[in-house]
Amino acid sequence: MGTSITHRFARQDLLTQALTHRSAGAAHNERLEFLGDALVNLIVAEALFQHWPHADEGALTRARAELVRESALAAIARELDLGARLILGPGEMKSGGHRRDSILADAVEAVVAAIYLDAGFESCRDAVLPWFQAPMEALPPPHKVGKDAKTRLQEWLQGKQKPLPLYALLSESGEEHAKTFHVSCTLQAPPLVTEGEGGSRRAAEQKAAEAALKALGAT
């Protein structure tokens, strides 16, 4: 079943305000967004607390950050088809504001606050929690969540008392504003060389580390 706003608003004006960007006039969604940010953090924190009964504070904090980051909330907004319902000023409409992650993420938070003000916390949690169910279930195990590939590779090698990987820039190509970096990741034990490409050297190193983790069966 697709993600949807199941809550039926008694006060439609709250939903309208939640979907109104500041470019469209005075009754916009920024105050609702402020309240919604706190509510989303609470709802997700409580759900993770129950979902991972043995995870420590660090893992729970990283997991919450993963689930409530701008791109994750924007993905929920797209599932809810909020972009088509946003009320934008002419400038934002022209520049494709309904597709922008920051505007979509803010709208999700504002809608959460609107549901809370319309019906209270219990109803808000019931309506909002399903939006985060699939992303929560897709999280890696608690000890891996929020850690990038380079960190995970380093920790895996350290755990086995193996030498740390060496990263080397093999080549860079493209125009100054759109370069592609090609990087290698070399392990001494077990002997392994993987490669990665990215729009920055760091991104390429992450890809190479990810490839090494896959080759080691350590993802």
Average pLDDT over residues 142-166: 86
Average pLDDT over residues 135-161: 85
Tell me the C-alpha distance between 77 and 107, whole Å: 7
Return the CATH number at 161.
3.30.160.20
Does residue 181 sit in the same domain as residue 124? no
> What is the per-residue pLDDT for 1?
39
Is 33 annotated for ligand binding?
A: yes
Question: Which of these ranges, 7-21, 30-44, 125-139, 171-185, has the smallest mean pLDDT?
Answer: 171-185
Percent of the chain with pLDDT over 70: 98
Alpha-carbon distance values, 104 to 47, 100, 127 (Å): 23, 6, 18
Does residue 49 sit in the same domain as residue 153? no
Structure token pair of residue 142: 């608690």
Percent of the chain with pLDDT over 90: 68
pLDDT > 80? residue 3: no
Average pLDDT over residues 182-193: 94
Does residue 176 sit in the same domain as residue 205? yes
Does residue 31 sit in the same domain as residue 121? yes
Of 195, 190, 196, nearest to 216 by C-alpha is 190
Last residue of one domain, picked from the residues 137, 161, 188: 137
Last residue of one domain, picked from the residues 137, 165, 186: 137
Q: 92 by DSSP, 3-state: which?
A: helix
Strand partners, 195: 184
- Which residue type, as a one-letter code, is found at position 137? E
Last residue of one domain, picked from the residues 104, 137, 170: 137
Question: Catalytic amino acids?
Answer: 37, 109
pLDDT > 70? residue 191: yes
Does 201 fall in a domain?
yes
Is 92 annotated for ligand binding?
A: no
Domain count of the fold of the chain:
2
Is 195 annotated for ligand binding?
A: no
Q: 113 by DSSP, 3-state: which?
A: helix
Alpha-carbon distance values, 123 to 40, 64, 120 (Å): 13, 21, 6
Does residue 40 sit in the same domain as residue 106? yes
Does residue 83 sit in the same domain as residue 115? yes
CB 32 within 8 A of CB 109: yes
Does 143 fall in a domain?
no
Q: 91 is in which domain, residue-wise?
A: 12-137
Straight-line distance from the first to the last Cα atom of the chain, in angstroms, rounded to the nearest whole number: 29
> What is the per-residue pLDDT for 144?
72
Average pLDDT over residues 85-110: 91
Does residue 114 sit in the same domain as residue 18? yes
Alpha-carbon distance values, 26 to 5, 70, 106, 141 (Å): 25, 24, 16, 44
Does residue 125 sit in the same domain as residue 153? no
Tell me the C-alpha distance between 97 and 104, whole Å: 8
Question: Which of these ranges, 27-31, 36-40, 171-175, has the smallest mean pLDDT?
Answer: 171-175
pLDDT > 80? residue 218: no
Average pLDDT over residues 144-165: 86
